[in-house]
Structure 1
Amino acid sequence: MDAQFLSGKKIIVAGAGISGLSFTLAIRQLWPAGLEPPHVVIYERDSDAVTPGREGYSLSLAGFDETGGLYAARDLGILDEVLKHATQGLGNQFVFKVMKFKPAAGLPTAGIRIARKNLRRVLTNAVGPGRIKWNTACVDAERLPNGGFLVKLSGNDIAADKTTTECDLLIVADGASSKIRSKLRPDDTLQYAGVMQKGGLAIFPNGIPQPVDKNWGMLLSSGKVMACFLSPYDETSVAWGMSYRASTIEEPLKLSGLDDAQKVIDECKELGKEFPEPFQSIINATDPKDVSRLAARDKQPFSHDLSLGPIIFIGDSNHAVSPLSGYGASLALKDGWDLSIQLCNSNSLAEAVKAYDAISVPRANKVLKESHQTIDMGHATGLNYLVTRSLLSIGGFVLGVKEAISFT
């Protein structure tokens, strides 16, 4: 096996999200002993601190088969640390598509929820200091005559004479609204999935209410084509997201201040007035600083064309899924690990990319299809709603999460 095609080369990772960090950690662990490793640098537009509006952002990590994020966490050597930060889900079963699943071999649980900030902290600690250039974004890339890339940088922490840098391989992991993808693949854009979502973080200093203190779950509404997802974020807060069908994206998505945030809270109180407690208590306890409004959007995965140059898109930059899928973080962790395996074990970049696409594209397509099914189930009407309720009454579960809440 000849892995020399990346030995001593410079790899830039655009984005210190879940997939970019997973890749950086994985390639260091998997690199063949005795060979000079590549030099990997991550550029991240945000700071190391949690950005406003993302405090209440939690994720699901599945572990019932090899596609799950917990499986990748085990391979990356961070599973124990990840489990320490789990908000819920350390039982012996994970619920998915109205079915119970047991943990995959070697895993203690089939699924957890974890705050995004905690998962990112576990990954950044494992990657180690000095590898991430914070407050610096990769905003464009140009192929060089020598076969590499000239990457354009932007940020407050870079000097005027250091706005570009070169690399031999560019790993694009800058999220669903990727700047690099918009430049090199301008027609490959996010598509609206037909659902709007408003959400926030409710604070309970004396402890969160039952039954959300033990499980995460969903409230359904038959009359308004609406659902509300509730999940513990930590011991004193609950993350919630109310979603509903809308024919077009409701603008503006970005909230302009606390007054806008309070309007969102008030709208959700009215939309969900038929929901039983603890819904109203959760809405009333929501901190306006952590309220968001978004449109559920996703994007088909694509196989790579190396005629663009040595560039690989991973995570949401390649195959974005909406928050309603519950599988985006698992895909991101697996992408980083699987790409690293192929790069370390192949004889050329072309061979590695072909093998990686054969794994990642079918996996992402499957998750995207299931995501749309989840949206349909969670916002069903008429007979479809009755079928969904029947399934819930038999299994007590819905859309990959326990029915810990009363259903209307």
Structure 2
Amino acid sequence: MADEETKGHSSHFLENKTIVIAGAGLAGSAFVVGLQKLWNPKLNPPTIIIFERDAPEIADQRETYTLSLTGFDNSGGLVALKNLGLLDHALKHAISGLDGAGAFKIWDSSWNEQVAFRRKPAAGIPSTSVRIARKDIRQVLHDAFDLGNQCSIHWDSKCISTTQLPDGRLRVRVVQGENAHEIEQESATEPSSGDTLCHGGAVLRGGVARFEEALPKLPGEDWGFVVSRTGVSAFFAPVDKHRIFWAVGRNEDQVCNLDRSSPTQLQAVIEQSLDLGSHIAEPFRSIVRRTDPETALLLNSRDKLPFAHDSISKVPAVFLGDSNHALSAFAGIGGNLALVDGWDLADQICKHSSLEDAVKVYDSLSVPRAMRDVKRSRRLVKGAHDTGLHYYLLLCMLFVGKFVRWALNKMGR
């Protein structure tokens, strides 16, 4: 009788409903963990079905690179992991950034340090920034899933379309392997908003180099950019104690493509990178020369400004992470936004009595945050590939910013 009385006085708009998550990446996975963590145990939980387009082994191969997760404000991935109760688990996989070892830096082409970015971390966060492999972060999230009758994940299953039904639900068409089948359920996340990515002009070529011995002294445990007045930038980040990810970028007029099934094209990425970065001092050439061609990549700088869910009352689909605000690979902050998106949406859904109210508050947090970071990313891409006077103006701004941060730290702010 007590349970019946409780049910009569308390309810939630997602009780006994079904939520479809299109993609088991960071944003959708963080949302699932957050919703399960924050859900009122007195209420019947929703059923959560996650569809991931890749098989587990393919997903691991695609995500060997590391992410920079920050912890100096509420937009950082480390803060989101703390809210999810997973910070300690995630930090066990940190490659660098803990105990004062490693920081984000900018060097010139002779590896002279121009700026080192160190800020005061938020309360309860041990570091301003750490690097962790994306596959390890995702695995930490997946290990936290409460899988069972109310939550399941289906690998090698791609959501390819949705159709709204007369009763307001969404029919989600899923292709699994060779077979296609349809399900009729409510959806919390959607695979694509139907808009397009904007090309930022820069092209990124890179790969993963392996050293049998220790990594080179530079960059060592640090990560960041080499910039020069040539218009060519380079990025370096440790993957583990024997591997380092590198990338060379420059502005190019046309969008470039890479056929990963062609050994010739994969090797050409390495050779062209050596040519583009020929002005960068050692250990640049030694790093690039040790690259496994199978890890070679070619990415175009593309992004997408965020949007609010103005039609949520008509179409119950929420776009998280890249489906809402894709960032260029040059930005290095997409993982942070994905984790914070997932947490914020789960938090607002559990606090509000309707999807419309929850998403309205969520948008008020997510859209300005992503708008700021997309614009910041565009400035970074432009600045990293500036030449002549613009390059020297960039250096001046970096030094001014460094002085301001130093002054604020001295004042305890």
Asked if the contact 2:233/2:250 (under 8 Å) is kept, the reply is yes
Cα offset, 1:214, TM superposition: 2.0
CA distance in structure 2 between the aligned counterparts of 1:3 and 1:190, rounded to whole angstroms: 40
Correspondence for 1:167: 185
Asked if the contact 1:3/1:344 (under 8 Å) is kept, the reply is no
CA distance change for structure 1 residues 254 and 319 in 2, over 3 Å: closer, same or farther? farther
Structure 2: runs of 5 or more not aligned: 1-8, 107-114, 404-413
Cα offset, 1:4, TM superposition: 1.8
Structure 1: runs of 5 or more not aligned: 183-187, 398-408
CA distance in structure 2 between the aligned counterparts of 1:383 and 1:106, rounded to whole angstroms: 42
Q: Which amino acid aligns with 2:370?
A: A
CA distance in structure 1 between the aligned counterparts of 2:160 and 2:171, rounded to whole angstroms: 11
Cα offset, 1:394, TM superposition: 8.0
Asked if the contact 1:302/1:318 (under 8 Å) is kept, the reply is yes
CA distance change for structure 1 residues 33 and 53 in 2, over 3 Å: closer, same or farther? closer
Q: TM-score scaled by structure 1?
A: 0.88
Asked if the contact 1:62/1:330 (under 8 Å) is kept, the reply is yes
Asked if the contact 2:313/2:356 (under 8 Å) is kept, the reply is no
CA distance in structure 1 between the aligned counterparts of 2:105 and 2:168, rounded to whole angstroms: 45
Matched, 1:222 2:223: no
Query: Larger radius of gyration, structure 1 or 2?
Result: 2
Q: Percent identity?
A: 39
Matched, 1:154 2:168: no
Alignment of 1:249-328 (within 5 A): 249-250=255-256, 252-304=257-309, 305-306=311-312, 308-328=314-334
CA distance change for structure 1 residues 362 and 233 in 2, over 3 Å: closer, same or farther? same
Cα offset, 1:142, TM superposition: 0.5
Paired residue for 1:360, among 355, 361, 366?
A: 366
Q: Deviations over 1:74-100 (max 9, x none)?
A: 011110111111111114596599653
Q: Which has the higher contact order (CA 8 A, sep 6+)?
A: 1
CA distance in structure 2 between the aligned counterparts of 1:207 and 1:95, rounded to whole angstroms: 20
Cα offset, 1:132, TM superposition: 1.2
Secondary structure (helix, strand or coil) at the match of 2:278 reads coil
Correspondence for 1:400: none
CA distance in structure 1 between the aligned counterparts of 2:313 and 2:175, rounded to whole angstroms: 26
Asked if the contact 1:203/1:238 (under 8 Å) is kept, the reply is yes
Cα offset, 1:167, TM superposition: 1.4
Cα offset, 1:388, TM superposition: 3.0
CA distance change for structure 1 residues 52 and 356 in 2, over 3 Å: closer, same or farther? closer
Paired residue for 2:154, among 133, 139, 144?
A: 133
Correspondence for 1:403: none
Cα offset, 1:353, TM superposition: 1.1
Aligned residues: 381
CA distance in structure 1 between the aligned counterparts of 2:402 and 2:365, rounded to whole angstroms: 33
Alignment of 1:88-127 (within 5 A): 88-91=96-99, 99-127=117-145
CA distance in structure 1 between the aligned counterparts of 2:277 and 2:54, rounded to whole angstroms: 34
Q: TM-score scaled by structure 2?
A: 0.87
Paired residue for 1:343, among 331, 346, 349?
A: 349
Asked if the contact 1:87/1:233 (under 8 Å) is kept, the reply is yes
What value does the CA root-mean-square deviation take over the aligned residues?
2.2
CA distance change for structure 1 residues 337 and 378 in 2, over 3 Å: closer, same or farther? same
Asked if the contact 2:207/2:296 (under 8 Å) is kept, the reply is yes
Q: Which amino acid aligns with 1:8?
A: N
Cα offset, 1:207, TM superposition: 2.2
Cα offset, 1:385, TM superposition: 1.0
Cα offset, 1:217, TM superposition: 2.3
Secondary structure (helix, strand or coil) at the match of 2:56 reads coil
